[in-house]
Amino acid sequence: MEELKFVEQMKLRSRMTVSQLVEQMNATGVLGAGKIGEAAELVSEMFIDPDYTVFLTLAGPIVPAGFRRIIGDLIENECVNVLVSTGANMVHDMVEGLGYRHMVGTFAAQDRRLKREKIGRIGDIYIEQEAFQGLEKWLFKTVEAIPEEKRRRISAAELLKDIGKRIEDKESIQAIASRKNVPIICPAFVDSIAGFQLWTFGQDKTLRIDPLQDVNVLMDKVYEAKKVGIIMLGGGVPKHFALFANTFREGVDAAVQITMDRPEPGGLSGASLEEAISWGKVKPKGRAVTVICDVTIAFPLIVAVALEKLSKK
């Protein structure tokens, strides 16, 4: 047996910084704490090494759960170079940009009553349906302002970029991404409230979204990267789309995924990153860490450490 590290017993103190805590976790090296430590190191490296093109994928209620500024700041600080997201997260970014707010509810909700009160529930997060009516009005006006010629064939990425330019809220992910020229790839944008609204729009206005164009946008980033680092919050289409695109360059160099899904049922969302090696999504010598944890707990821990390391580089 090769030389093994000892598990160091943690020591907690009042007033410790997140970095100090995660260092302690890293020193144990095992179970969830060990994974947090490892992931924090790998994400730090992705943020610090300028050779990395960093893909961040979003699935689950990332924006509704309070991560909007975290994502926005990561783009602003050029830590993240490509965003691959569910449509829903962009919908909720727009909705917050229009001044609507998510609310703290409960999992043990009376959903029939919520329906009567026109509140939609996402886990223990509530949002008024009014927000989506406001969104529709704004979205129609905003999309109509895009030249018709362009609307004849547009990728979701291009559409989101144009939308981002028109969001006034400085904290909007889309606004920041537009300004920083970071593409937002939504391969299934049609599967979102905005997607259905644009379908209505398209009944009597010109709009043809061409998802094959989104592949172009994504592949440009894949091909131009020296190294690719990928951070996956949840699974779904964003995880698959971003990983599969990287098979065209023999896989990503570094990968961190945070998920609560299990591998045993065989779905991609819970699939291990070892499995990804067989497909050429992760390089055989790539580094990969899977953190089995609620994203809202693990990701802030990891990012806080990476920001500290970045500030000291």
Smallest distance, Å, CB 137 to a copy of itself? 18
Smallest distance, Å, CB 237 to a copy of itself? 5
Q: Which is nearer to a copy of itself, 94 or 188 (CB)?
A: 188
Q: Which is nearer to a copy of itself, 70 or 98 (CB)?
A: 70
Smallest distance, Å, CB 234 to a copy of itself? 6
Of 168, 175, 159, the residue nearest 71 (C-alpha): 175
Q: Which of 118, 281, 309, 313 is catalytic?
A: 281
Binding of a copy of itself at residue 301 (CB under 8 A)? yes
Binding of a copy of itself at residue 313 (CB under 8 A)? no
| 64, 127 Cβ separation under 8 angstroms | yes
Those residues whose C-beta lies under 8 Å from the C-beta of residue 59, and which sit 6 or more positions away, are: 85, 86, 233, 234, 235, 236, 237, 238, 239, 269
HSE (side-chain half, CA atoms, 13 Å) at 266: 0
Size of the site for a copy of itself (CB under 8 A): 129
Q: Determine which residue in the list 54, 215, 225, 254 makes contact with a copy of itself, applying CB under 8 A.
A: 215
Q: In whole angstroms, what is the distance from residue 251 CA to residue 255 CA?
A: 10
Which of the residues 265 through 294 are near a copy of itself (CB under 8 A)?
A: 265-271, 274-280, 284, 292-294
Smallest distance, Å, CB 123 to a copy of itself? 3
Q: Determine which residue in the list 49, 73, 136, 169 makes contact with a copy of itself, applying CB under 8 A.
A: 73
Smallest distance, Å, CB 26 to a copy of itself? 10
Q: Which is nearer to a copy of itself, 74 or 225 (CB)?
A: 74
Instruction: For tokens 């390391």, name the residue.
Output: 309
Of 34, 47, 55, the residue nearest 218 (C-alpha): 55
Token readout for 26 is 């890293």
Of 254, 264, 237, 240, the residue nearest 290 (C-alpha): 254
Question: Any catalytic annotation for residue 281?
Answer: yes
Which of the residues 167 through 206 are near a copy of itself (CB under 8 A)?
A: 171, 187-191, 193, 195-196, 198-199, 202
Binding of a copy of itself at residue 145 (CB under 8 A)? no
Q: Determine which residue in the list 205, 216, 223, 224 makes contact with a copy of itself, applying CB under 8 A.
A: 216
Binding of a copy of itself at residue 121 (CB under 8 A)? yes
| Contacting range for a copy of itself; rule: CB under 8 A; set: 69-77, 140-148, 174-182, 223-231 | 69-77
Q: Which residues of 236-254 are buried (b: 16+ CB within 10 A; e: fewer)?
A: bbbbbbbbbbbeebebbbb
Classify strands 52-58 and 82-85 as parallel, antiparallel or unpaired: parallel
Which of the residues 235 through 254 are near a copy of itself (CB under 8 A)?
A: 236-237, 240-241, 244-245
| Contacting range for a copy of itself; rule: CB under 8 A; set: 23-31, 48-56, 138-146, 221-229 | 23-31
When computed from its CA atoms, the radius of gyration of the chain, rounded to whole angstroms, is 20
Which of the residues 30 through 49 are near a copy of itself (CB under 8 A)?
A: 30-34, 36
Burial class (CB in 10 A: 0-12, 13-18, 19+), 152: exposed
> In terms of residues, how long is the chain?
313
Q: Which is nearer to a copy of itself, 179 or 268 (CB)?
A: 268
Q: In whole angstroms, what is the distance from residue 210 CA to residue 213 CA?
A: 6
Positions annotated as catalytic residues are 281
